[in-house]
Amino acid sequence: MSVMLEARDVEFSFGQTPALRGASVAVEAGEILAVMGPSGSGKSTLLHCLAGILVPDSGEILFDGARIDAMAETERSGLRRDRFGFVFQFGQLVPELTAVENVALPLLLSGVRRRQALPRAYDWFARLGLDGLERRRSGELSGGQAQRVALARGLVAEPQVLFADEPTGALDSLTGEQVMDLLVGAAREQGTTVILVTHEPRIAAYADREVMVRDGRVNAPDRVAS
């Protein structure tokens, strides 16, 4: 398999506070990688650098061989819109839009016409067990339902990489595992690479491999042990 996304010796500070101190990690195409670590270890910052949301102070971020960190903001923005998908801890759905409009949003932002985008969005409702909820707004959905809608939104444009930052952090255990089951199933079906940030071992166990972030550096114990 080829490397889809890679951080090389990345450093990043928030003001005077270092968050990443030479973090390196590589993710293969189609791989589901869990990024674990205690609070404040730098795991979310690493995800934001890998996704081109933050630009490292030094080091390199490569997506499919191209240097994201060297791209202009407009180019990185296009990459995030067209090639990447996102799921966050709290679904962060747009409250004014219906569930199906939320799911269609990445397609609409990419220039897909509404009459083509909405049917594609509707398809996801059956797939994720959300039948009948298409016209609801986020305030009318349970936490688990909202997170499944967020997952559909993250995957509807068939991104090459899905970034999931504590996607089950706000859910109870059973609902969280149902969301993970759907996430892994859909990602495998589409061949999507997944970067899953979590501090929960049971959620990390859905991934192919885990790395630990500690004090802004990445340890890959699996590779050391093997």
Partner 1 sequence: MSVPLTLLGLLEREPSHGYDLKRDYDAFFGRGKPLPFGQVYSTLSRLARDGKVVISDVAPGAGPDRKRYIITDVGATEVEQWLTQPVDPEPHLQTVLFAKVVLALMLDRPAAEYLDTQRSAHLRRMRELTEIKRAGGLVDALLADHGLYHLEADLRWIEMTGARLDALRKEVRP
Complex with partner 1: residue 13 or 24, whichever CB lies closer: 24
Nearest alpha-carbon partner for 208 in 190, 226, 194 = 194
Complex with partner 1: residue 63 or 206, whichever CB lies closer: 206
Contacting positions for partner 1 (CB under 8 A):
38, 181, 184-185, 201-202, 204-208, 210, 212, 219, 221-222, 224-225
Min. distance of Cβ 194 from partner 1 in angstroms?
A: 14
Q: With H, G, I as helix, E, B as strand and everything else as coil, classify residue 133.
A: coil
Residues 6+ apart with CB under 8 A from 162: 84, 85, 86, 87, 154, 155, 183, 187, 192, 193, 194, 195
Q: With H, G, I as helix, E, B as strand and everything else as coil, classify residue 226.
A: coil
Min. distance of Cβ 205 from partner 1 in angstroms?
A: 4
Min. distance of Cβ 174 from partner 1 in angstroms?
A: 10
Complex with partner 1: residue 48 or 148, whichever CB lies closer: 148
Min. distance of Cβ 164 from partner 1 in angstroms?
A: 16
What is the DSSP code string of 49-90? HHTTSS--SEEEEEETTEESTTS-HHHHHHHHHHTEEEE-SS
**Largest Cα–Cα distance of the chain, in whole Å?**
52
What distance in Å separates the CA atoms of residue 60 and residue 67, rounded to the nearest whole number?
Answer: 7
Min. distance of Cβ 193 from partner 1 in angstroms?
A: 17
Complex with partner 1: residue 98 or 178, whichever CB lies closer: 178
Residue 125: its H or E element: helix 114-127
Complex with partner 1: residue 191 or 221, whichever CB lies closer: 221
